[in-house]
Amino acid sequence: MTSTVTEAPARQVLPAEERYAEELAFLAAYDSGPRPPGWALTPKAAVTFICGSGDEPLSLPEPVKGVPGELTVAPKFVGERSLVERCVVTLAGERGLLLVGEPGTAKSMLSELLAAAVSGTSALTVQGTAGTTEDAFRYGWNYALLLAQGPTPQALVPSPVLTAMRSGRVARVEEITRCLPEVQDALVSILSDRRLSVPELAGTDEATLSAVPGFTVIATANLRDRGVSEMSAALKRRFNFETVAPIADAAAETELIRRQATAAVERAGAPFSVDDAVLDTLVTVFRDLRSGRSAEGWDVERPSTVMSTAEAVQVAASLAISTAYLSAGEPLDLVPGHLLGVVRKDDAADHARLLGYWDGPVRRRAEDGSATWRRLWDLRETVR
Ligand SMILES: Nc1ncnc2c1ncn2[C@@H]1O[C@H](COP(=O)(O)OP(=O)(O)O)[C@@H](O)[C@H]1O
Ligand SMILES: [Mg+2]
């Protein structure tokens, strides 16, 4: 039997508004209260979308077609609710929001979730790089049309920022500090005047494009990149800064890593088989090296790499995939090799710092009689 129906190919990653389409539709129906212009959800529902609804399922006041009557909204960002509330309030006031922090603290994730909750799309995104030009914030031209017709509104190719202005949505600028300062400054007039002039279209209605209510910008910046300090004062003033810190609570971090690694391993077609003792150990090492202090209060020399939660998720997933596909032995035995891969990136001295961690906390815990740490200590040769 032949079929002419072609299925859309599976996609590796779905944008937040598609992955969580059911939750977003539910929350829009659940909280029908007043909302800022252009918003898909009320500010309160936007916070619930990101932080979760707790253990109790929420129930719709009355049935709505195509929406489940009851739903528990999963928590997505692990961290202070008050931070998420401030972000939402900033956007409700149509202020720019700048999320700063170490790499891997979920700044991009938070920006995507906020844009999906507020505007129903996280796709209006500019990825900042050293090669980003002003066009990425303003507009470009379709050169074939430009040659054929001259500068007409049809020949203008809007940037994601311009599309957001015209439709009253949130535009995202990732890694804004990687853009050259003069390119960043294209945002100053957009955020202050809320309009964009197109000199090529002078004399037409489209010579000035004005933002529709709802338009604002969420930018992210990594503290490890060339600094936020290099942003112009004019641009800084147009943003509310929020610092996203690594997850404070060890149990919450472990839980998140288990959840996300399980999902990643399922995508690879394998079960998540890493037991709690191994996961706890992994998280302990990451947190000790990240903070420069062990859970017991011993000093630890910090490597120059970040030891982010995101990388811990990847290591946990790799352990499970190795065990499932390569029968590579005990997951714990693979931990030192993966740690070396995470730590040894930029600075040769980081390798020595990891060895120092072995000769300090790992050894002391082994001497205290813990079987897991004893085994890691026995594997010291593998980090040499
Ligand atoms: N506080 C957190 N809450 C939820 N997920 C987190 C958190 N911190 C790190 N992660 C995980 O780390 C991943 C990487 O985050 P990302 O948004 O790319 O970080 P950043 O943009 O800060 O470098 C996230 O997709 C998520 O899997
Ligand atoms: Mg990012």
Q: Report the sign of the C-alpha dihedral through residues 351, 356, 361, 362, in that order.
A: positive
Question: Residues with Cβ < 8 Å from 162, sequence gap 6 or more?
Answer: 138, 139, 196, 209
Strands (E), the chain: 58-59, 70-71, 96-101, 125-127, 139-141, 156-158, 170-174, 195-197, 208-210, 216-222, 239-243
Tell me what pLDDT residue 226 has: 66
Range name among 77-86, 249-258, 270-279, 321-330 with the lowest pLDDT average: 321-330
Q: Which of 8-17, 70-79, 339-348 has the highest average model confidence (pLDDT)?
A: 70-79
Query: What is the C-alpha to C-alpha distance for residues 179 and 145, in angstroms, rounded to an integer?
Result: 29
Name the residue type at position 213. Answer: P
Tell me what pLDDT residue 249 has: 94
Range name among 123-127, 177-181, 328-332 with the lowest pLDDT average: 328-332
Dihedrals φ, ψ of 352, to 5°? -65, -35
Tell me what pLDDT residue 231 has: 86
User: How far away, in angstroms, is 103 Cα from ligand 1 center?
Assistant: 8
Model confidence at 3, pLDDT cuts 50, 70, 90, reads: low
Residues with CB under 6 A from ligand 1: 77-79, 101, 103-109, 220, 247, 256, 260, 309-310, 313
Tell me what pLDDT residue 1 has: 47
Structural domain harbouring 279: 250-383
Beta strands 195-197 and 208-210 are: antiparallel
Query: What is the C-alpha to C-alpha distance for residues 281 and 250, in angstroms, rounded to an integer?
Result: 11
92 with 237, same domain? yes
- Higher-scoring residue by pLDDT: 223, 196: 196
225 with 118, same domain? yes
Structural domain includes residue 17: no
The last residue of one of the domains, among 221, 243, 265, is: 243
The last residue of one of the domains, among 210, 243, 276, is: 243
User: What are the tokens at 283?
Assistant: 């998280």
The last residue of one of the domains, among 225, 243, 261, is: 243
> What number of H helices and E strands is found in the chain?
17, 11
327 exposed, middle or buried (CB, 10 Å; 0-12, 13-18, 19+)?
Answer: exposed
85 with 219, same domain? yes
Beta strands 239-243 and 156-158 are: unpaired
289 with 219, same domain? no
281 with 158, same domain? no
- Nearest-CA residue for atom 6 of ligand 1: 106
What total number of domains does the chain contain? 2
Residue whose CB lies within 8 A of the most ligand 1 atoms, among 109, 175, 176, for a mutation test:
109
Model confidence at 93, pLDDT cuts 50, 70, 90, reads: very high
- Shortest CA distance to 358 belongs to which of 328, 336, 327? 336
Helix (H, G, I), strand (E, B) or coil at 188: helix
Instruction: Return the ligand 1 atom nearest residue 174 CA.
Output: 21
264 with 152, same domain? no
247 exposed, middle or buried (CB, 10 Å; 0-12, 13-18, 19+)?
Answer: buried
Model confidence at 223, pLDDT cuts 50, 70, 90, reads: confident
Tell me what pLDDT residue 151 has: 94
Instruction: Return the ligand 1 atom nearest residue 247 CA.
Output: 1
124 with 258, same domain? no
277 with 371, same domain? yes
What value does the mean pLDDT of the chain take? 92
